[in-house]
Amino acid sequence: MAVVLPAGIGVTVCIVALSAFLFYYIARFLRIFLLISKFDGPPAVPIFGNTLQFKSDPREHFLYDVGVREKYRHQSGGVIRMWFGPLPIVLIYNAVHCEALMNSSRHINKGTEYTFMEPWLGKGLLTSGGQKWFHRRKLLTPTFHFSILQSFMEVFNEQSMILVKKLGKFADESETVNIFPLVTHCVLDIICDTAMGKRTNAQSDNENEYVKAVGRMSHLIVSRIRNFMLWPDWIYNRTDAGKDHEKALQILHGVTNKMIQERLHDPLHSPNGGTYEDDAVTRKRKRIAFLDLLLQMHREDATFTLEAIREEVDTFMFEGHDTTAAAVNWALLLIGQHPTVQARLHDEIDQVFGDSERPITSDDLSELSYLSCVVKESLRLLPSVPGIGRDLDEDIIVNGKVVPKGASVFLSIYGIHHDPEQFPDPERFDPDRFLPENSTKRHPFAFIPFSAGPRNCIGQKFAMMEDKVLLINILRRFSIESLQTLDETKPAGQIILRPAEGNILVKLSHRK
């Protein structure tokens, strides 16, 4: 028999419940506010926080971020607080203080800002957290086994030689060349071939819609993050930016969905996840693409759905394309600015290859120790991913102060890499910093271009191999002269650190 409460008692219960709810959230906010306020940081205003100080231009905002960090570096110990509207952020740019967070298997949930990437990347390896992330990471780790990475060397060589041939035409005429789009298209061809088993021929298509959509999407996401008034979907989707976002999303998902369906229904697709090439004499096994391995997982485990495959393919296409392209471009700019460094690279490469035109092998890469130093110093000075965010599910202690549960932490990789305590004269390009004798005493979290700890980048070995093959094949044949200073390229921190106007201008000359 149901019990009917008098109307007055029902109203009282609702009021008490609502009051308890409000009390909990007000008390929670006050605790966060009081603890966050103990950290140094730029003055904030109610409701808007520090967002009124943000710049709409990516380059200007990048300079603003750098200026704020340097202003407070010494007095704050490399830890400051900011407010993104109502959202408290603790910004860490000191290797010592970031270790506790990055080395933890508990603080693995990405920051609130990553939710704005989910329409594009879903809940894949980059954006997911908790048990889903642990499960997905364990599932995907074997796909980056060294033996599989070695099989990609053929693609690295083939596509980089197409790039070399294009660059040779500019060297023939001693023309100025903007290498940024050329390298970007080369890397896209590499990623499509290795990830999808699909030739896209982006290097012959200067107006590739996927490349344009990635750049547009990155800009839209960062602009939205910096304007908390656009965080609600029901507002954002009605703006011009929201409509542009939807158009870019259709292009990005259209490309990956088409590739997945083509691979899934490929008549040459074998039951065990590989592909075979028909031949009258032999049945030669083709290289296994990343997508083949994911489809095999799908066949063996129905819970790993086609949607999950698309999430990981989109993530790998983004992280393995935009980040690597930026890294190679910045390295070429810096090499072209430093003739002494370039001469040492040429000598080292010549010792390994001489006048040979043979493809590069993985064994060759291990012999080029100075090249490794150059790549690392380029990534130190200009990390492809300038920072990462985490949300806290429990309190942590940073620099002797409590960062409360419910707050967000932003780890500035760019700021950590430019810490003068770890890297004296941090704005100077000096690959010798990474010689063994100069690295042993450095803090282990002072250099983290691929993040660190449990959530480090699963594809970092792939990226380093690809970077080196592209640089070697270019430097075997050309000398590079940069026609811009670093400031003139206007590095701008969006999701990826890239030149604000998309230009890195160089002159190339054939080596004799």
Inter-CA distances, 138 with 40, 92, 131, 135, 454, Å? 39, 28, 11, 5, 11
Q: Which of 57, 54, 56 is nearest to 501 (CA)?
A: 57
DSSP letter at 506? E
Task: Tell me the CB-side half-sphere exposure of residue 237, using CA atoms within 13 A.
Answer: 5
CA-to-CA distance for 55 and 216, rounded, in angstroms?
18
CA-to-CA distance for 391 and 318, rounded, in angstroms?
23
DSSP string over 227-253: -GGG-SHHHHTTSHHHHHHHHHHHHHH
Q: 172: which 2 tokens?
A: 């023939």
Q: Write down how long the chain is.
A: 512
CA-to-CA distance for 34 and 36, rounded, in angstroms?
6
Task: Tell me the CB-side half-sphere exposure of residue 495, using CA atoms within 13 A.
Answer: 22
Q: Which residues are CB-contacts of 181 (< 8 A; sequence separation ≥ 6)?
A: 206, 211, 502
Q: Which of 89, 93, 80, 22 is nearest to 49 (CA)?
A: 89
**Residue 98 and residue 92 in contact, taking contact as beta carbons nearer than 8 Å:** yes
**Sequence ranges of the binding site:** 457
Query: Sheet of 478-482: strands edge to edge?
Result: 176-178, 505-510, 478-482
The 3-state DSSP class for residue 45 equals strand
Q: Which residue matches tokens 């409509």?
A: 243
**Sequence ranges of the binding site for heme:** 457
CA-to-CA distance for 122 and 128, rounded, in angstroms?
8
Task: Tell me the CB-side half-sphere exposure of residue 208, using CA atoms within 13 A.
Answer: 22
Residue 272 C-alpha from the chain's centroid: 31
**Residue 188 and residue 200 in contact, taking contact as beta carbons nearer than 8 Å:** yes
CA-to-CA distance for 198 and 187, rounded, in angstroms?
13
Other Cβ atoms less than 10 A from the Cβ of 467: the count is 24
Q: 446: which 2 tokens?
A: 């002072």
Q: Which residue matches tokens 């899934």?
A: 264
Listed in order, strand segments (DSSP E) in 59-203 are 79-84, 87-92, 176-178
Residue 441 C-alpha from the chain's centroid: 27
What is the rounded end-to-end Cα distance, in angstroms, of the chain?
97
Amino acid at position 271, single letter: P
